[in-house]
């Protein structure tokens, strides 16, 4: 795969920096987000897919090396679906993993594939596992990480400065029941570094999002939103997105997964939005509805994909630069 040359030009090597860095690793529609705190401690959120050639594990390892990491301090698995846990075993052979965090047992153990993946997880994490509850704080030195959702339960009190009523809740239209119920068990986290706030909700779906923003918004505003569930329209309700008012959004979509026109419509009507960045061009969506090409890391089909990612580097004053690994295109924003 391509080296993170563009990113290095942005002066973003973690070992040499006092910045917070977040890498969205291209997993062709899977999820893997590497967070490197200014202290040098690291948390990987999800390990994407399993493939015969360990493609995603190798891409995660390459990003960890570029970030100067010798180990992953915390592996947080949002939920036990194959596009979030698939690369775990292969990755654990490439780099040591300090601790494992998750929402507790999968609720889909009747499905043989899920049961096998969960058993492997239990074995690998034995003695190093912590089950997270809403309201917990994750110990990642240098940043504040709050667990705001886990195992279907949301925090009950607003985060500091949040708690305003959400008028949009009056128009909420419930979706039918979720067919893959482990999505709604996803661990959701809010990371704060100075004025910068980042949210990653895994694959939490539409109905469960309401627990955090209706009738009042328990989260407050965020700077950067990892667009939930790869940009699928089973998540990102207007009530949720418009309440948290992200300035910048990153979609970890695939060539044919997520990024449909109805999702872009909700995202673009969000107050205060400046830019959407995509890991992949959504090939089934008209080009003019996708974000401008400079802010898309991969433009083709999976088979000819080089696996370029997107990263952000946040300085202690809250200024942050998002960079597209494919072309080095980058843009700087100020936290509110």
The site for Zn ion (CB under 5 A) is made up of 83, 203
Q: Report residue 219: phi and psi, to 5°.
A: -100, -40
83 vs 315 by CB, closer to Zn ion: 83
Name which of 204 and 213 has its Cβ closer to Zn ion. 204
Cβ 31 to Zn ion, closest distance in Å? 5
Pick 66 or 185: Cβ nearer Zn ion = 185
CB of 10 to Zn ion, least distance (A): 28
With 0-12 CB in 10 A as exposed, 13-18 as middle and 19+ as buried, what is 181?
middle
CB 161 within 8 A of CB 336: no
* Nearest distance, CB of residue 252 and Zn ion, angstroms: 9
- Residues 124, 152 contacting (CB under 8 angstroms): no
Give 48 or 312: the residue with its C-beta nearer to Zn ion: 48
For residue 226, give both structure tokens: 């990892």
**Residue 81 beta carbon to Zn ion: minimum distance, rounded to whole angstroms:** 6
Chain centroid offset of residue 119 CA? 24
Nearest residue (CB) to Zn ion, 21 versus 203: 203
Nearer to Zn ion, 26 or 83 (CB): 83
**54/203 with CB nearer Zn ion:** 203
Contact (Cβ atoms closer than 8 angstroms) between residue 49 and residue 30? yes
DSSP-derived secondary structure for 138-181: E--TTSEEEEEEETTEE-SSPPTT---B-GGGGG--PPPPPSSG
Do residues 283 and 260 make contact, with C-beta atoms less than 8 angstroms apart?
no
Q: Where are any strands of DSSP class E within the chain?
A: 20-24, 33-36, 42-45, 72-76, 97-102, 129-131, 137-138, 144-150, 153-154, 188-193, 196-200, 224-226, 248-251, 275-280, 296-298, 310-314, 319-324, 330-334
| Minimum gap (Å) between residue 14 Cβ and Zn ion | 26
Report the residue number, 66 or 236, with the smaller CB distance to Zn ion.
236
CB of 168 to Zn ion, least distance (A): 26
Closest by Cα among 227, 251, 252, 230 to 240: 227
CA distance 15 to 18: 8
> Taking the complex as a whole, how short is the minimal distance between the CB of residue 241 and Zn ion, in angstroms?
18
- Please report how close the Cβ of residue 83 comes to Zn ion at its closest, in angstroms: 4
């Amino acid at each position: 795969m391509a080296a993170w040359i563009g990113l290095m030009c942005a002066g973003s090597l973690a070992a040499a920096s006092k910045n917070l860095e977040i890498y969205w690793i291209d997993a062709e529609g899977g999820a893997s987000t590497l967070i490197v705190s200014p202290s040098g401690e690291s948390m990987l959120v999800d390990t994407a897919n399993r493939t015969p050639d360990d493609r995603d594990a190798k891409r995660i390892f390459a990003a960890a090396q570029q970030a100067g990491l010798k180990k992953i301090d915390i592996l947080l698995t949002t939920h036990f679906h194959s596009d979030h846990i698939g690369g775990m075993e292969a990755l654990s052979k490439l780099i040591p993993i300090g601790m494992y965090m998750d929402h507790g047992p999968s609720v889909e153990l009747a499905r043989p594939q899920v049961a096998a993946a969960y058993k492997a997880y239990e074995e690998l994490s034995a003695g190093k596992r912590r089950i997270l509850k809403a309201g917990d704080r994750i110990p990642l030195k240098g940043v504040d990480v709050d667990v705001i959702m886990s195992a279907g339960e949301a925090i009950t009190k607003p985060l500091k400065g949040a708690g305003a009523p959400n008028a949009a809740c009056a128009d909420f239209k419930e979706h039918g029941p979720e067919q893959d119920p482990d999505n709604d068990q996803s661990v959701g986290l809010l990371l704060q570094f100075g004025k910068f706030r980042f949210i990653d909700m895994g694959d939490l779906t539409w109905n469960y999002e309401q627990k955090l923003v209706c009738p009042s918004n328990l989260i407050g505003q965020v700077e950067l939103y990892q667009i939930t569930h790869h940009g699928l329209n089973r998540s990102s309700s207007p009530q949720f997105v418009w309440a948290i008012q992200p300035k910048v959004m990153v979609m970890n979509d695939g060539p044919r997964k997520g990024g449909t026109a109805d999702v872009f419509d909700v995202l673009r009507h969000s107050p205060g939005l400046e830019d959407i960045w995509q890991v992949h061009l959504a090939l089934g969506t008209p080009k003019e509805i996708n974000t401008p090409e400079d802010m898309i890391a991969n433009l083709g089909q999976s088979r000819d994909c080089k696996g370029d990612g997107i990263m952000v580097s946040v300085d202690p004053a809250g200024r942050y630069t998002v960079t597209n690994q494919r072309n080095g295109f980058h843009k700087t924003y100020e936290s509110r």
